[in-house]
């Protein structure tokens, strides 16, 4: 969860708490007004006030009913607001869960990347190692054959010196280097 989302959730929680407190205050006021209205109506039945006082009471009752309706509308409005905020909070929590899961998955992938690259490198390096080994084997065989041919030629007494004109053999001039080292295969740790 990032800092912005945390601040947003804290703000939403504070706002929800304020709305609930306001709603409770208004509920108490509605209850008081209802009790007062009930008392006035109840007391009004046996008691027959004078017409001018009765008109004042009726006007006051009408005013109280209008106020009660206004408060009920406000209560309804705040209840809707609370429901919307609760839904937003649930959605934000779901988003946080999804992002946390995604972050954990990405961390796992990152932890596995070196192993994957090492394996792929080893897979690509294996054919190269095999090719180098086969070339070294072939090179040793060719060197052995060359030594054998040179030995046979030397055993027959054929002069390989190109300065001798009377032989008329067209043989290549081969000089062996005894210090040639075979290639070493790359080792991968």
pLDDT in the model for residue 44: 61
pLDDT in the model for residue 12: 81
CA distance 67 to 69: 5
pLDDT in the model for residue 186: 52
The lowest-confidence range among 7-11, 48-52, 76-80, 164-168 is 164-168
| H helix and E strand count, the chain | 2, 0
Residue 148: pLDDT over 70:
yes
Residue 178: pLDDT over 50:
no
CA end-to-end span of the chain, whole Å?
40
Please state the pTM of the whole predicted model: 0.38
pLDDT in the model for residue 54: 64
- Convert 128-150 to b/e letters by CB count within 10 Å (16 or more is b): eeeeeeeeeeeeeeeeeeeeeee
The lowest-confidence range among 11-15, 54-58, 168-172 is 168-172
CATH number assigned to the domain covering 3-112: 1.10.287
Provide the CA 127 distance to its chain's centre, in angstroms.
Answer: 36
69-112 pLDDT tens trace: 888 898 899 899 999 999 999 999 999 999 999 999 999 999 99
Could you state, in order of their start, the residue ranges of all structural domains in the chain?
3-112
Radius of gyration of the chain measured on its C-alpha atoms: 50
Q: How far is CA 34 from CA 9, 19, 28, 64, 70, in A?
A: 37, 22, 10, 9, 13
Residue holding tokens 């989302």?
Answer: 5
Read off the tokens for 184: 């070493």
CA distance 163 to 72: 124
Instruction: Estimate the crossing angle of helix 3-44 against helix 51-156, to 10 degrees.
Output: 160
The lowest-confidence range among 4-18, 99-113, 171-185 is 171-185
């Amino acid at each position: 969860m990032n800092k912005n989302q945390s601040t947003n959730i804290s703000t939403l929680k504070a706002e929800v708490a304020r709305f609930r407190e306001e709603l409770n205050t208004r509920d108490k006021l509605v209850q008081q007004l209802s009790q007062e209205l009930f008392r006035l109506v109840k007391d009004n039945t046996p008691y027959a006030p004078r017409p001018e006082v009765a008109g004042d009471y009726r006007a006051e009752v009408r005013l109280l009913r209008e106020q009660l309706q206004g408060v009920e509308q406000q209560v309804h409005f705040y209840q809707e607001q609370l429901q919307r905020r609760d839904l937003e909070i649930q959605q934000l929590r779901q988003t946080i869960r999804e992002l946390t899961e995604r972050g954990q998955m990405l961390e796992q992938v990152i932890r596995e990347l070196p192993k994957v690259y090492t394996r792929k490198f080893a897979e690509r390096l294996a054919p190269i190692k095999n090719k180098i080994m086969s070339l070294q084997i072939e090179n040793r065989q060719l060197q052995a054959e060359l030594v054998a041919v040179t030995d046979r030629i030397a055993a027959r007494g054929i002069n390989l010196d190109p300065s001798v004109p009377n032989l008329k053999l067209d043989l290549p001039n081969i000089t062996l280097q005894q210090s040639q080292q075979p290639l070493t295969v790359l080792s991968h740790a």
